[in-house]
């Protein structure tokens, strides 16, 4: 009986030891995987940086060209994004200005246009989502209907604007392009003007897809 007990004890000990070894092995494999992924991510930073800077330059150059063509005072690009979660678990969706070019003498506003809660300008966002554009030739025209949007645009010293949706390749609205007139008169008057805006919109959509392409 004593020999049987010793054998059982030894078998149990070996089983426990095997489980410990397997556990250690699994942990080591996980650590190695994390290390390799982190190393790969770090090594890819220069490549990603070069790609990002090149795209940014191309987009801002195109924004400058549109600004001059339309005699606009400011051209901006906005991105919708997740800003975290509220205490009840609801997603705190926000919008931020990610690109901006301004005419000389016009104050830049990009820094004040970060992480704006979508709930603050829900009517405006709904207009962009449903109509895919929002043309306002006189800012005062939206004062009663969209007071929050009116105030935001007024704080940017706008007199008029033309905003158009930016989409991903699935056709989902992910942001918008904003053409703004502060001191200069509204100048989106012809079909050629609209086509110029669309040309920039399509370029932005193409370049944004290029940036998220992992190849």
Kindly tell me if the per-residue pLDDT of 188 is higher than 90.
yes
Tens of pLDDT, residues 75-134: 999 999 987 766 666 777 999 999 999 999 999 999 999 999 999 999 999 999 999 999
Confidence at residue 92, expressed as pLDDT on a 0 to 100 scale: 74
SS3 call for 142: helix
Asked if residue 40 belongs to a domain, the reply is: no
**Best CA proximity match to 67, nearest among 214, 200, 172:** 200
Kindly tell me if the per-residue pLDDT of 159 is higher than 60.
yes
β-bridge partners, 164: 133, 177
Asked if residue 137 belongs to a domain, the reply is: yes
Asked if residue 86 belongs to a domain, the reply is: yes
**Best CA proximity match to 71, nearest among 158, 175, 188, 197:** 188
Confidence at residue 102, expressed as pLDDT on a 0 to 100 scale: 98
Joined together, the tokens standing for residue 158 give 């706008």
Asked if residue 35 belongs to a domain, the reply is: no
Question: Which DSSP helix (H) or strand (E) runs through 80?
Answer: strand 74-85
CA distances to 73, 100, 156 from 107, in Å: 9, 11, 9
Asked if residue 20 belongs to a domain, the reply is: no
Distance CA 66, CA 179 (A): 9
Asked if residue 2 belongs to a domain, the reply is: no
Confidence at residue 172, expressed as pLDDT on a 0 to 100 scale: 95
Provide the CATH number for the domain around residue 114. 3.30.450.40
Residue in the block written with tokens 């449903």: 130
SS3 call for 166: strand
Asked if residue 12 belongs to a domain, the reply is: no
Tens of pLDDT, residues 166-183: 999 999 999 999 999 999
Tens of pLDDT, residues 9-50: 656 665 666 667 776 767 767 766 665 655 555 455 677 788
For the chain, the domain total comes to: 1
Asked if residue 19 belongs to a domain, the reply is: no
Tell me the average pLDDT across 178-205: 97
Cα-only R_g, the chain = 27
Joined together, the tokens standing for residue 167 give 């989409």
Would strands 160-167 and 133-136 be described as parallel, antiparallel, or unpaired? Answer: antiparallel
Distance CA 85, CA 91 (A): 4
Domain limits for position 176? 47-212
**How many C-beta neighbours within 10 Å does residue 85 have?**
10
Evaluate whether 92 touches 117 at the Cβ level (below 8 Å): yes
**Buried b / exposed e across 179-210, counting CB within 10 Å, b at 16+?**
bbbbebebebeeeebeebbeebbebbbeebee
């Amino acid at each position: 009986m004593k020999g049987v007990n010793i054998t059982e004890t030894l078998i149990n000990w070996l089983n426990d030891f095997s489980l410990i070894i397997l556990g250690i092995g699994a942990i080591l494999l996980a650590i190695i995987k994390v290390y390799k992924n982190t190393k790969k991510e770090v090594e890819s930073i220069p490549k990603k940086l070069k790609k990002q800077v090149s795209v940014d330059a191309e987009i801002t150059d195109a924004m400058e060209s549109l600004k001059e063509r339309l005699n606009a005072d400011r051209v901006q690009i906005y991105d919708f994004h997740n800003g975290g979660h509220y205490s009840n678990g609801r997603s705190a969706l926000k919008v931020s200005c990610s690109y901006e070019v301004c005419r000389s003498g016009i104050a830049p506003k990009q820094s004040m246009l970060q992480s704006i809660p979508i709930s603050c300008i829900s009517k405006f966002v709904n207009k962009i989502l449903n109509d895919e554009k929002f043309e306002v030739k006189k800012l005062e025209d939206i004062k009663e209907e969209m007071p929050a949007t009116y105030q935001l645009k007024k704080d940017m010293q706008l007199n008029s604007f033309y905003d158009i949706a930016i989409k991903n390749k699935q056709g989902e609205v992910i942001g918008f392009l904003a053409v703004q007139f502060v001191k200069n008169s509204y100048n989106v008057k012809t079909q050629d003007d609209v086509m110029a805006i669309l040309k920039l919109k399509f370029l932005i959509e193409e370049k944004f897809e290029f940036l998220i392409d992992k190849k």
